C-alpha cells in the first residue's frame, strides 16, 4: 500500500502545471484529491479526469475567508486534511524604478500572503502526521533583474516555511517547500519560446534541460509521505543544479529583442 493511500489531499493550483502533475501522481498513489483553483471550471474538469472520488473547489488564496472555507469544508466533508500542496503564484515583472505598486502588491498577496493563509488554515484542521508543502522558486535564492516582487515573495515564503515548521512541529505537522528552477508549465511559455532566453537557462543549468512538472511531483510525493517523516523546515532545490550558477538576465534579453 502506498504511503499516501487514503489520505485526504488538497492541491491548490491543481488545475494546471506542477499542481496538476502532483494531483495525478498523488491520486495514482491512492490519495483522495481535492483540486482547489481560482479557475473553477478547469478544476472541475481536472477532478473529472481523476475520478475515484476526486473533488474540486474554487479558491482564491488572497481571500482568507475563501481559504478558511476550503479547509474547514474539506475536513467536515471528508473527515480530515492530511496533505496540503500550495502551487498558487504569479510573477508581474518590472524594473524597480518602473514597477507600479499594484503589481508589487498583487505578487506579494498571491505568492506570500496567500501562502500564509494556506498554512494557517490547513494547520488548524490537521493532526499529527500531516504534511504541508509549498512551491517556492529558484528566485527565492537567486535574484533576477525585473523580478523584485517575485523574488521577495518567494524568499519570504522560504522563511515562512521554516517558521511554520518550528511552530507546528509539536503538533506533528511537517512543513516543507520545493524550490523549482525553470519548469515547462503554461506560466513560463513566454520564456521558453524565446530561443536566446531558453539557451541562457540551459547554459546555466548543469543538467542541461528544463524541468518537467513530473520532476517536481515526485518530490511532492516524497514530502507528503511517511518516507519523509523526519523531514521538516526543508526548502528542497529541484532545478537541475541551476542554483550553482547564475540566473539569466531575462529583462536584458527582452530589451535587446525589442530594439
Mean pLDDT of 181-185: 96
Dump the DSSP string for 71-89: HHHHHHHHS---EEEE---
Helix 114-125 × helix 148-168 angle, to 10°: 20
Active site residues: 150
239's torsion region: left (phi>0), alpha (psi -120 to 50) or beta? alpha
C-alpha cell at 133: 508543502
pLDDT at 189: 84
Mean pLDDT of 104-109: 98
Q: Which residues pair with 211 in a beta bridge?
A: 183
- Do residues 25 and 214 touch, judged by C-beta distance below 8 A? yes
pLDDT at 1: 57
Mean pLDDT of 136-142: 97
Mean pLDDT of 109-114: 98
Percent of residues, the chain, with pLDDT higher than 70: 100
- Do residues 78 and 131 touch, judged by C-beta distance below 8 A? no
C-alpha cell at 81: 486534511
- Do residues 181 and 240 touch, judged by C-beta distance below 8 A? yes
Mean pLDDT of 104-124: 98
pLDDT at 187: 81
pLDDT at 168: 98
pLDDT at 163: 98
pTM, 2 dp: 0.97
Q: What are the structural domains, with CATH classification, of the chain? A: 8-258 (3.40.50.720)
Backbone angles phi, psi at 183, to 5 degrees: -110, 135
Task: Give 44-95 pLDDT, tens digit per residue.
Answer: 999 999 998 999 999 999 999 999 999 999 999 999 999 999 999 999 999 9
- Do residues 9 and 224 touch, judged by C-beta distance below 8 A? yes
pLDDT at 211: 97
The whole-angstrom separation of Cα 108 and Cα 216 is 23
Residue 100 has pLDDT above 80, yes or no: yes
The whole-angstrom separation of Cα 108 and Cα 157 is 10
Kindly state the helix (H) or strand (E) to which residue 101 belongs, with its residue range: helix 101-108
Residue 252 has pLDDT above 60, yes or no: yes
Amino acid at each position: 500500500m502506498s504511503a499516501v493511500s487514503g489520505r485526504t489531499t488538497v492541491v491548490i493550483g491543481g488545475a494546471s502545471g506542477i499542481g496538476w502533475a502532483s494531483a495525478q501522481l498523488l491520486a495514482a498513489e491512492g490519495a483522495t484529491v481535492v483540486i482547489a483553483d481560482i479557475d473553477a471550471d478547469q478544476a472541475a474538469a481536472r477532478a473529472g479526469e481523476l475520478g475515484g472520488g476526486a473533488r474540486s473547489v474554487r479558491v482564491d488564496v488572497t481571500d482568507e475567508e475563501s481559504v478558511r472555507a476550503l479547509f474547514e469544508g474539506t475536513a467536515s466533508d471528508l473527515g480530515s486534511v492530511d496533505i496540503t500542496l500550495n502551487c498558487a503564484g504569479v510573477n508581474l515583472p518590472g524594473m524597480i524604478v518602473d514597477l507600479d505598486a499594484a503589481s508589487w502588491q498583487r505578487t506579494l498577496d498571491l505568492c506570500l500572503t496567500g501562502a500564509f493563509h494556506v498554512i494557517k488554515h490547513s494547520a488548524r484542521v490537521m493532526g499529527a502526521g500531516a504534511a504541508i508543502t509549498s512551491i517556492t522558486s529558484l528566485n527565492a535564492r537567486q535574484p533576477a533583474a525585473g523580478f523584485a516582487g517575485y523574488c521577495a515573495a518567494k524568499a519570504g515564503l522560504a522563511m515562512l516555511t521554516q517558521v511554520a515548521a518550528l511552530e507546528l512541529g509539536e503538533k506533528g505537522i511537517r512543513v516543507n517547500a520545493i524550490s523549482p528552477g525553470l519548469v515547462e508549465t503554461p506560466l513560463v511559455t513566454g520564456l521558453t519560446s524565446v530561443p536566446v532566453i531558453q539557451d541562457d537557462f540551459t547554459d546555466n543549468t548543469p543538467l542541461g534541460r528544463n524541468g518537467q512538472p513530473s520532476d517536481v511531483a515526485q518530490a511532492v510525493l516524497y514530502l507528503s509521505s511517511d518516507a519523509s517523516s523526519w523531514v521538516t523546515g526543508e526548502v528542497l532545490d529541484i532545478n537541475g543544479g541551476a542554483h550553482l550558477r547564475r540566473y539569466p538576465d531575462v529583462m536584458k534579453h527582452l530589451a535587446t529583442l525589442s530594439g
